Amino acid sequence: MVGPYNITIMSVRLKLRLLAEGLRIGDGVEDVLRRRGKPRLRVRSGSCGGLDLVLPDGSWVNAPVDEPFAESSRLVLTLSDDDEELVVHDDDSPDEAHRVRVAPRPAYYGRHSRRGTRLQQIGQLCSDRLGIGLTNGCVFWADEQTRCTFCSIGLNVLSGHEVGRKRTPDVLEVAEAALADPVAPAAHILLGGGTPKGPDAGALAIADATRELKARWPHVSIYAMIAAPERPEFVETLVDAGVDEIGINIEVFSDEAGQRYLPGKRAVGLATHLRMLEAAVAAFDNRRGPAGPKDVGRVRSIMIAGLEPVEAVLAGVEELAGRGVMPILTPLRPMRGTALEQHERWPASALWDLTERASEVAGRYGLPLGPTCLPCQANTLNLPGHPAYRDY
């Protein structure tokens, strides 16, 4: 992967603009992207469904290009005069240009599993992380009255970009292919996918998969992303299985935003989510000891910037960091086909201000804004230079 990193404020501001405004594809560029880059897949609810670009300083951005709001962006991806390089131009500032690289297409994307499934439908490379949704079902999505209004999980399988349920042999096969990929090898693995029925909220299936993966690749970091289970024992099972990081996302902090945008999850209760996050922090501390420099933020939670007032977001950051949970802030990405497809977005200037303020809040508790993986900051709000930021 790309590195070493010397992340600049200029690139951070460009990334925020791309996340806030999207990116138009200039004439002749789509053909270049098809030849050089990996396909844009509708997976992970949009967070890696855009165009993975590497900026001049080595930082990453997953630029929205296929969503309605990107159609009116002032930022456009063009070819250099010699047609050899990709350049991001600003229509309002003709002299402003940023040379970028498109993330390459992994070699395993062209392969099928022994069961005949395309490997890219089982696990997808998001920056340097292999993402595998063990199930693409969600108990909340089934009813429009309970589904999260910003989420597209129910559309992923319909698009043909992902299969609904992944069996263990397929998970192991795609992991083997991705970790050894000769073009774009995965550095770590995320296991998640929907919210199945049951009190464990999918934790037991992730624990089983983790044991199988760790038996073969004990050095590979595994990140489990789940909804809040009913009892702490399920979180403890994940830690005992060998999971290295756990994410339980609250998305929004205020009750008003929770009831409006994620009614099913909020019915479970914000208090339950915070309690399970605390249980994860305790489980790691009890079994592996206090977090060291390389495992700061073993427990994390994503919040969405753009669905509630800034002060509510900052209150959520405080509540999380005060519990030893690393906050991850990601801008709202109004996705095609969701109820929020035409929702207003925060401008890049507001995202920058939030990043500064939230970093200060988290810093009081010794935590950065996550994630700590630099390539995985492709769609998150981060200031450069924190000592916990690194490659996996």
Burial environment of residue 28 by CB neighbours within 10 A (0 to 12, 13 to 18, 19 or more): exposed
Where in the chain is CATH 3.20.20.70? 107-379
Average pLDDT over residues 246-267: 96
Question: What is the pLDDT, as a whole number, of residue 44?
Answer: 57
- In this predicted structure, which of 49-58, 183-192, 266-275 has the lowest mean pLDDT? 49-58
**Lateral strand order in the sheet of 222-225:** 124-126, 129-133, 188-192, 222-225, 245-247, 299-305, 326-331
Query: pLDDT digit string (tens) for 312-355?
Result: 999 999 999 999 999 999 999 999 889 999 999 999 999 999 99
At how many degrees (to 10) do helices 348-363 and 310-322 cross? 30
10 pLDDT more than 80: yes
Residue 198 CA: distances (Å) to CA of 70, 134, 231, 280, 308: 38, 15, 11, 19, 30
CA distance 317 to 359: 9
Residue 239 reports pLDDT greater than 90: yes
CATH of 107-379, one of 3.20.20.70, 3.10.20.30, 3.30.70.890, 3.30.70.100: 3.20.20.70
In this prediction, residue 234 carries a pLDDT of 98
- Token pair 């005992």: residue: 240
Condensed to tens digits (0 to 9), the pLDDT of residues 123-176 reads 999 999 999 999 877 889 888 899 999 988 878 766 666 777 888 999 999 999
Quickly state the pLDDT bin for 45 (edges 50, 70, 90). low
Q: What is the largest CA-CA distance in the chain?
A: 59
Query: What would the two tokens of residue 227 be?
Result: 């909804």
Mean pLDDT of 75-90: 88
Mean pLDDT of the chain: 92
> In this model, does residue 1 exceed pLDDT 60?
no
Region of poorest pLDDT, from 11-20, 85-94, 223-232, 258-267: 85-94
**CA–CA distance from 276 to each of 138, 222, 246, 273, 313 (Å)?**
19, 19, 10, 5, 20
The Cβ of residue 135 has, within 10 Å, a number of other Cβ atoms equal to 17
The model's pTM: 0.95
326-331/299-305 β-pairing: parallel
Provide the 3-class DSSP secondary structure of residue 40. Answer: coil
Write down the pLDDT at residue 65: 93
The CA distance from 323 to 331, in Å, is 23
Is the four-CA dihedral 350, 90, 56, 40 of positive or negative sign? positive
